Amino acid sequence: MKITDMQAACGLAQLDRVDDFVAARRKNFDLLTQRLKGMEEIFILPEATPNSDPSWFGFPLMLREGVDAKRVDLTRFLDQNKIGTRLVFAGNLTRQPYFQHVEHRVVGELTNTDRVMNDSFWVGVCPAIDEARIDYIGEKLEEFFGMNF
């Protein structure tokens, strides 16, 4: 892909702020991790891999097996409460319509891939999100699951 001169100029101007953006994303990720610690029986919370220090794009959440909730109902509830969510990209690519007529090979049942596709989503940790909004995300998740902390 080739960007326009205007897009390149905007990108260069943003480079002066990249350290602040990265710090804010890491801070928001840490705040959300702490806020959702009490919900570990419901969600598998994300963790950085050893010896890494990521600038998080988002905060992925996966419903634990046995949780009596559907991701679609939860994300609809969050959307109705002005909390944006996204799916974890394409999920199980072999389930995409494109693959119906393409010869491909699958090894195993792809159980975990299906779980990611069906039970996972993420919320943002962009620099514009502040501590009050992080707390609001936590409150709404607790409300959905009928929790009172």
C-alpha–C-alpha distance, residues 130 and 136, integer Å: 10
- Distance from first CA to last CA of the chain, Å, rounded? 48
DSSP code of residue 82? T
Question: What's residue 98's pLDDT?
Answer: 84
Whole-number Å distance between alpha carbons of 4 and 82: 32
What's the pLDDT score for residue 88? 83
Residue 78: closest CA among 25, 117, 38, 136: 136
Res 92: pLDDT: 82
Nearest-angstrom CA–CA distance, 83 and 144: 13
Which of 54, 33, 56, 55 lies closest to 45, judged by CA? 33
Distance CA 73, CA 136 (A): 18
User: What DSSP element (H or E) covers 21?
Assistant: helix 18-35
pLDDT at residue number 111? 87
Splitting the chain (149 residues) into consecutive groups of 10 residues, what average pLDDT does each group show? 90 91 95 96 96 93 96 97 90 83 88 90 94 96 86
* E strands, 51-126, in order: 58-63, 85-86, 120-124
Give the C-alpha distances (Å, rounded to integers) separating 147 from 17, 85, 139: 39, 21, 9
Who contacts 108 (Cβ-Cβ below 8 Å, separation ≥6)? none
- pLDDT, residue 93, reads 84
